[in-house]
C-alpha cells in the first residue's frame, strides 16, 4: 500500500504499473494535454469535505448556520462559479475577489468583505453592490464607512471584527486572535466596546454581528470556544444582542502522514456546546453561525504536478532534483518553511532511495519545495505529484522570474475542465506598456 496516497484526493488511485490517476484520469495524460506544471482540483474531495461540515452542523447546532468559503485560499472565476453552485457564501478581501464573486453569480447577500485596510474604491463598490456584510476591522475604518454611507445616504450592514486575545498553536504568521494582531478591534483595551457603541449609535451603519478569526491551520478546538465566550461576554457588556456570529475559519489539514488531523465534528460540537451554554444562561436566542473555511475545503482537493528537469549531486552528497515549478506557484515552503510530501506519478519508487532535495527552478536558494526527502533515481520528464496543494499556493503565486502561472483543472466524473489556462509570455500582459510598441 502506498501510504502517501492518503494525503491525496479521495479519488486517487494507482494502476498495477503504479501510474497515478485522479477522478479516473491519468496524470501523465493530463500533463501531455495541458502541460506542466499542472494544478488539479478533485471535485469529489471538495464536495466530501463540505458535506462533512454541513452534516456536523445540521446534527449539532440549532441556531442556523451558513458556510462561507474563504476565497483567499484559492479563487478564480471558474472556482467561484462552482462554489456558488454548491450553495456556499463567500468571504472576500479585495476588489478583485469582490468582482469575481459578482461575475460568478454569488448573491450579494452571501458575500462578506474582510480585510484590515479596505480602500475607498473597495468600500464604495461593496456598498453599491449591497453586500451583507462589510466586516469592519478597526475604528478608523468605522469612521470612514460611516462617512461614505452618510454621503451616499445608504444604510450599510456591518459586522465588527473582534480580537479576542486568544492565542492558538500554529505558525506565528497565521495567528490572528492574539492582542498583538494587526487584525480586528481588541477587547482588552476597550476598542471593541468603542466600536460597538459607535456602530450602534450610527444612523447609517447597521451592526448585525460580531466576527473573529483566531488563526489558520488550527487543530485544537478549545480556543474557538474561548473566543466565542469572549465575544458573547463583550456583546452582553455592550447590551448588543447578536443576530449573527462568526468564528472565522482556520480548521487545519494534514500535510504530512504524521501530522495531526483536525476533527471537524469536534470543532462543531465544541462551538455549539459553548454557544448553547453562553446564550442559554443569558436567555438569548442562539445566533446564526457563519463559518469561513478555506484550507479545510480546498486543501486536500488540490494536487500540484511537476516534471523533473535537471538532477545532480551537491558536493555534500545531496541528490538535487529540480522541477519545472517552485516558489512562483507555491511560495509556502519559502515563506513559512511549510512541509510537504511528494510522490512519483508514473511508478512506485523502487531501488535505492537517496537523500534528496526537491527544488524549484527560480533564482533563490530558498526555492526548495521539499528540502529533504527520500527519492529513487529519477529521470528528466518524470512526473512528481505533491498533494494538499489546494490552499494558499496558487492564490499566493507570483510571476517571479517572469514565470507563467500554471494551468488549473477541475476533475470530476471522468471529465477535466480548465479552470484557469496557463499564462503565456507571448500574450500581451501586465508587463507591457499598452501605448508602446511591442
Ligand atoms: C477572516 C478569515 N476568515 C477565514 C479565513 C480562512 O482560513 P483557513 O483557510 O485557515 O480556513 C481566513 C484566513 O486567513 C481569514 O482571515
Half-sphere exposure of 182 (CA within 13 A, CB side): 7
Pocket perturbation via mutation, ligand 1, pick of 74, 92, 97, 216 by most ligand atoms within 8 A of CB: 216
Region at 89 (left for phi over 0; alpha for psi -120 to 50; beta for the rest): beta
Task: Give 250 Cα–ligand 1 centroid separation in angstroms.
Answer: 5
Rg (CA), the chain: 23
Cβ distance 31 to 307 under 8 Å? yes
**CA dihedral angle for residue 50, residue 56, residue 60, residue 63, rounded to 10 degrees:** 0
DSSP lists the bridge partners of residue 255 as: none
How many other C-beta atoms can be found within 10 angstroms of the C-beta atom of residue 372? 10
**CA dihedral angle for residue 26, residue 32, residue 36, residue 39, rounded to 10 degrees:** -40
| Residue 280: φ, ψ to 5° | -55, -45
State how far the Cα of 407 lies from the Cα of 417, in Å rounded to an integer: 11
Tell me the domains of the chain and their CATH numbers: 3-36+302-389+393-420 (2.40.37.10), 44-298 (3.20.20.10)
Task: Give 292 Cα–ligand 1 centroid separation in angstroms.
Answer: 6
How many other C-beta atoms can be found within 10 angstroms of the C-beta atom of residue 225? 21
What average pLDDT does the segment 420-438 reach? 78
Write the residue with the smallest CA distance to atom 16 of ligand 1.
213
Cell of 74: 484559492
Predicted confidence (pLDDT) per residue in 250-300, tens digit: 999 999 999 988 899 999 999 999 999 999 999 999 999 999 999 999 999
In ligand 1, the atom with minimum distance to the C-alpha of 295 is 9
What average pLDDT does the segment 425-429 reach? 80
Task: Say if strands 407-412 and 38-42 run parallel, antiparallel, or are unpaired.
Answer: parallel
Q: How confident is the model at residue 437 (pLDDT cuts 50, 70, 90)?
A: low
Percent pLDDT > 70 in the chain is: 98
Cβ distance 162 to 177 under 8 Å? no
Write the residue with the smallest CA distance to atom 5 of ligand 1.
249
What average pLDDT does the segment 197-214 reach? 96
Residue 438 has what pLDDT? Answer: 56
**216 in contact with ligand 1, CB cutoff 6 A:** yes
In ligand 1, the atom with minimum distance to the C-alpha of 297 is 11
Q: What is the mean pLDDT of the chain?
A: 95
Task: Give 108 Cα–ligand 1 centroid separation in angstroms.
Answer: 20
Q: Which residues contact 382 (CB under 8 A, 6 or more apart)?
A: 307, 308, 344, 345, 346
Cell of 32: 501531455
Residue spans of beta strands (DSSP E) within 110-204: 111-113, 134-136, 156-163, 185-186
46-52, long-range: CB within 8 Å, 24+ apart, which pairs?
A: 46/297, 46/298, 46/301, 46/390, 47/86, 48/10, 49/296, 49/297, 49/300, 49/301, 50/86, 50/88, 50/297, 52/264, 52/265
Residue 436 has what pLDDT? Answer: 65
What is the model's pTM? 0.96
Top pLDDT among 177 and 89 is at: 89
**195 in contact with ligand 1, CB cutoff 6 A:** no
State how far the Cα of 339 lies from the Cα of 255, in Å rounded to an integer: 7
State how far the Cα of 305 lies from the Cα of 389, in Å rounded to an integer: 9
| Residue 327: φ, ψ to 5° | -65, -15
**390 in contact with ligand 1, CB cutoff 6 A:** no
Predicted confidence (pLDDT) per residue in 30-41, tens digit: 999 999 999 999
Active site residues: 363
DSSP lists the bridge partners of residue 320 as: 312, 357
Cβ distance 39 to 304 under 8 Å? yes
Cell of 385: 505529484
Residue 62 has what pLDDT? Answer: 94
Least confident of 58-67, 160-169, 275-284: 160-169
Residue spans of beta strands (DSSP E) within 79-153: 89-92, 111-113, 134-136
State how far the Cα of 408 lies from the Cα of 27, in Å rounded to an integer: 13
Amino acid at each position: 500500500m502506498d501510504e502517501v496516497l492518503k494525503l491525496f484526493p479521495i479519488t486517487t488511485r494507482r494502476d498495477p504499473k503504479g501510474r497515478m490517476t485522479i477522478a479516473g484520469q491519468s496524470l501523465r495524460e493530463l500533463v501531455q494535454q495541458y502541460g506542466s506544471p499542472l494544478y488539479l482540483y478533485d471535485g469529489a474531495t471538495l464536495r466530501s469535505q463540505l458535506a462533512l461540515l454541513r452534516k456536523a452542523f445540521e446534527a449539532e447546532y440549532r441556531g442556523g448556520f451558513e458556510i462561507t468559503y474563504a476565497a483567499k485560499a484559492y479563487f478564480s472565476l471558474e472556482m467561484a462559479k462552482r462554489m456558488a453552485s454548491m450553495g456556499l457564501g463567500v468571504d472576500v478581501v479585495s476588489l478583485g475577489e469582490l468582482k469575481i464573486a459578482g461575475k460568478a453569480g454569488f448573491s450579494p447577500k452571501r458575500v462578506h468583505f474582510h480585510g484590515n485596510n479596505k480602500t475607498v474604491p473597495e468600500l464604495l463598490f461593496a456598498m453599491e453592490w449591497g453586500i451583507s456584510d462589510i466586516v469592519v476591522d478597526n475604528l478608523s475604518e468605522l469612521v470612514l464607512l460611516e462617512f461614505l454611507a452618510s454621503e451616499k445616504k445608504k444604510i450599510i450592514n456591518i459586522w465588527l471584527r473582534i480580537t479576542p486575545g486568544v492565542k492558538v498553536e500554529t505558525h506565528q504568521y497565521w495567528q490572528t486572535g492574539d492582542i498583538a494582531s494587526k487584525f480586528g478591534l481588541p477587547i482588552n483595551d476597550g476598542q471593541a466596546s468603542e466600536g460597538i457603541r459607535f456602530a450602534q449609535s450610527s444612523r447609517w451603519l447597521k451592526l448585525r454581528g460580531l466576527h473573529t478569526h483566531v488563526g489558520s491551520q488550527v487543530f485544537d478546538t478549545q480556543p474557538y470556544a474561548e473566543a466565542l465566550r469572549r465575544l458573547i461576554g463583550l456583546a452582553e457588556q455592550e447590551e448588543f444582542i447578536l443576530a449573527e456570529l462568526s468564528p472565522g475559519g482556520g480548521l487545519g489539514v494534514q500535510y504530512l502522514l504524521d501530522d495531526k488531523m483536525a476533527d471537524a465534528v469536534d470543532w462543531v460540537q465544541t462551538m455549539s456546546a459553548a454557544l448553547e451554554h453562553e446564550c442559554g444562561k443569558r436567555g438569548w436566542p442562539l445566533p446564526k453561525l457563519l463559518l469561513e473555511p478555506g484550507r479545510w475545503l480546498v486543501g486536500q482537493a488540490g494536487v500540484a504536478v511537476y516534471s523533473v528537469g535537471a538532477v545532480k549531486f551537491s558536493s555534500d552528497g545531496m541528490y538535487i532534483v529540480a522541477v519545472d515549478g517552485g516558489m512562483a506557484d507555491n511560495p509556502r515552503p519559502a515563506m513559512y518553511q511549510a512541509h510537504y510530501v511528494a510522490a512519483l506519478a508514473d511508478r512506485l519508487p523502487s531501488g535505492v532511495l537517496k537523500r534528496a532535495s526537491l527544488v524549484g527552478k527560480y533564482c533563490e536558494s530558498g526555492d526548495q519545495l521539499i528540502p529533504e526527502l527520500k527519492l529513487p533515481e529519477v529521470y528528466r520528464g518524470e512526473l512528481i505529484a505533491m498533494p494538499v496543494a489546494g490552499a494558499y499556493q496558487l492564490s499566493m503565486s507570483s510571476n517571479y522570474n517572469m514565470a507563467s502561472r500554471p494551468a488549473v483543472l477541475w476533475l470530476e466524473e471522468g471529465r477535466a475542465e480548465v479552470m484557469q489556462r496557463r499564462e503565456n509570455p507571448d500574450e500581451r500582459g501586465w508587463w507591457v506598456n499598452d501605448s508602446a510598441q511591442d
